[in-house]
Amino acid sequence: MRKQFRDLASPEEAREAIASLDLTPDAETVALEDARGRVLAERIDAELDVPGFDRASMDGYAVRARDTFGANEAEPVELDLAGAVHAGNEPDVAVDPGTAVEISTGAVMPPGADAVVIVERTEERDGSLVVYSSVAPGDSVMPAGTDIAAGARALGPGTRLTPREIGLLSALGVDEVPVRGTPTVGIVSTGDELVRPGEELRPEAGEIYDVNSYTIAAGVEEAGGVPKLYPHAGDDYEELERLLRRAADECDLVLSSGSTSASAVDVIYRVVEERGELLLHGVSVKPGKPMLVGTLGEGSAYVGLPGYPVSALTIFRTFVAPAIRDAAGLPEPRTATVEGTMATRERYAEGRTRLMPVGLVADGDGKTLVYPVDKGSGATTSLVEADGVVEVPADVEYLAEGESVTVHLFSPDVRAPELLGVGEDDPALSRLLDRVSSPRYLPFGSREGLRRLRDEIADVAVVAGDQGGAVEEIDAVELGSWTREWGLVVPDGNPDEVSGLADLVDDDDLSFVNRDSNSGLRTDLGNAVAALANERGTTRHELVEAIEGFDRGTKAFESPARAVAAGRADAGLGLRATADSLGLGFVSLGKQRVAVLANPARIDKLGVASLRDALATSDDAIAGLTGFERA
């Protein structure tokens, strides 16, 4: 007697059944040259600054900025030429007061120099350099770590490695990458009537070529899996059992096509029931009703596809391909272009066609917003932070906020992040972001985070320290907060016996490495200097001038500490957690509150909700960091 289909499952139940299967292979480590297209299994933090040295960003002359103050066309400054430094060479000359050193783009800044005067603002005359324009410290200089700083979160788990990420990893010196395993999918086509292409076909006997094996194999590859074809099997029970057991031992998922209806000769469902567990038999969809979902012993995943090629491919793409992509850590495919609206006004009037790198973010209504991404042509991270480019014609002077644009994606697989955050860099935040699906975080500092939240570009801003009334001026919802101990990082054992800010002010021999002006650490340090100035009855400016290195800021929270560890500075602004992790000394200057603020219109976005949930259970993320506490 012919068996009939059991109660047909709904499409939702079919998806739930497949989702209950474990298709995820073990993680593995691959060489960088083999990593393209793979998905990171864990976070990768930068272990060195990129660039690893202060370098000239223009051709010109390395100088001490103070030696050029007041220079102009009418009253130029004359400096002694002390030598030259070229890219790829270690400087063999220093810049002493009243001297200058010729320097080429990309060259290491020589000792003593803190700025570059571009060649167009100078003139060589009788062995001397005539300077026609003054410069400030840092002008035409790319400090170490400007591209990406040591300790910064370079790439997070779940990131698919395209050529742009490979470039970033190369810049960091990474030669092996921890990646998620690629699911191996065994394909078994059944039916006495099937013949493999290339073999002799006997139409008179009702034979047809096996279409499904190759069609489904191509679909597996497209979804991110590795297909493995097994020999064709007829409807013989023992042969089917042997092939299915072999495939189950060798693959993460076994797919068969054909023999899934409940007829006298269809035996696969009996193999599944005897060797494993049948979770589902039949789905209420057309085409594709005869579908099986189950296991083949010890949890091996199995899906039986219909025999008709159109039905098999339809069911595969609708139900199975998403599961393979999920196991491989890959996103749903998208088209190579997307339409969006500019999140902010972008001016451009150089008379040339512009290929503007842009990022994508969804607003509270799910509409795609486009924002410019531009950190300079030498910044590797611009590639990672951008999703594509907008071509701006030469005669367009600006793109208006709200203007429709077409984004040409770097890859059809590119999609907007589920969470876009901007603000302070912080080790606790890096741990929290690991718990959020597809986040993008731009560590541009607290001030920039507030600005981008105000301009409704960012979903969230991470703000550290006292920002005055800036926070109150923005309509935002606080998702959570913590505190971190901040102060001066010094060499192990504190050989200079630094006890506080007063020592940096009073000791001319102590060199200091600061953070950039967008950093919340820099803001609180400035407030502490102002308090010390008030206590001494002097001005903040006078104390700042007395601290060697105060005006030279670095990008990320570990950079000053690493400068101290390398012997390039006597003290640096940083966190107790950083000092502890690097085996350095620490002089506390207080505790600083770090808050995560969200755009109220995007509070229900999946990524924002996921971050809020991570913050609510963040004790373990913070517990291992010295000096950190939940607020």
The answer on 395 and 348 residing in a single domain is yes
Residues 613, 488 share a domain: yes
Residues 170 and 39 in one domain: yes
Helix (H) or strand (E) holding 520: helix 520-536
Over 50: is that where the pLDDT of 4 sits? no
Query: Phi/psi at 381 (nearest 5 deg)?
Result: -65, -20
Question: Are residues 261 and 165 both part of a single domain?
Answer: no
Query: Is 535 in the same domain as 626?
Result: yes
Query: Using 50, 70 and 90 to split pLDDT, how confident is the model at 225?
Result: very high
> pTM (2 decimals)?
0.68
Q: Which of 360, 395, 416 finishes a domain?
A: 416
Residue 310: band (very low, low, confident or very high) from pLDDT cuts 50, 70, 90: low
Interval 34-63 mean pLDDT:
93
Residue pair 307/212 in contact by the 8 Å Cβ criterion:
yes
User: How large is the average pLDDT for residues 371-381?
Assistant: 61
Q: What 8-state DSSP symbol labels residue 526?
A: H
Is there a domain that residue 3 lies in? no
- Mean pLDDT to the nearest integer, 42-48: 92
**pLDDT score, position 351:** 65
Residue 127 lies in a domain: yes
> Does 216 score more than 70 pLDDT?
yes
170 with 193, same domain? no
124: pLDDT strictly greater than 70:
yes
501 vs 313, which has greater pLDDT? 501
- What is the amino acid identity at position 587? V
Decide if 360 contacts 409 (C-beta within 8 A).
Answer: no
471 and 434 in a single domain? The answer is: yes
CATH code, domain with 412: 2.40.340.10
Could you report the per-residue pLDDT of 405-421, keeping only the tens digit for each?
999 887 677 788 999 99
Per DSSP, the residues of 5-71 read P-SPBPHHHHHHHHHTS--PPPPEEEEGGG-TT-BBSS-EE-SS-BSSS-EESSSEEEE-GGGGTT-
Residue 5 belongs to some domain of the structure: no
Same domain for 474 and 610? yes
Cα separation, 78 vs 68, whole angstroms: 9
The structure tokens listed for 563 are: 């400068």
DSSP for residue 233: B
Give the containing element (helix H, strand E) for 268.
Answer: helix 268-275
pLDDT band of 476, cuts 50, 70, 90: very high
The domain tally of the chain equals: 5
- Residues 280, 17 contacting (CB under 8 angstroms): yes
Higher pLDDT, 534 or 260: 534
- Could you tell me if residue 162 is inside a domain? yes
Model confidence at 376, pLDDT cuts 50, 70, 90, reads very low
Same domain flag for 362 and 390 = yes
The answer to whether the beta carbons of residues 371 and 440 sit under 8 Å apart is no
Domain enclosing residue 38, as ranges: 28-50+147-179
Which CATH number belongs to the domain containing residue 270 in this structure? Answer: 3.40.980.10
Question: What pLDDT band is residue 291 in, cutting at 50, 70 and 90?
Answer: confident
Q: Give the strand pairing for 439-442 and 571-575.
A: unpaired
> Do both 563 and 450 map to the same domain?
yes
What is the mean pLDDT of the segment spanning 597-616? 94
Residue 1 lies inside a defined structural domain of this protein: no
Given 305, 328, 351, the domain boundary residue is 328
Using H for helix, E for strand and C for coil, what is the string for 348-368? CCCCCCEEEEEEEEECCCCCE
From 162-176, 352-366, 446-460, the region with the lowest mean pLDDT: 352-366
Q: Can you give the CATH number for the domain in which 575 is found?
A: 3.40.190.10
Q: Which long-range contacts (CB under 8 A, 24 or more apart) does 214-217 make?
A: 215/309, 215/312, 215/313, 216/187, 216/255, 216/257, 216/305, 216/312, 216/313, 216/316, 217/187
453 and 587 assigned to the same domain: yes
Position 448 scores a pLDDT of 92
Looking at the fold, whether 173 and 133 belong to one and the same domain comes out as no
Residue 112: strand, helix, or coil: coil
Q: What is the DSSP string of 113-160?
A: --EEEEGGGEEEETTEEEE-S---TTTTEE-TTSSB-TTSEEE-TT-B
Query: Which domain-ending residue is among 416, 443, 462?
Result: 416
For the stretch 160-175, pLDDT in tens is 899 989 999 998 999 9
567 within a domain of the structure (yes/no): yes
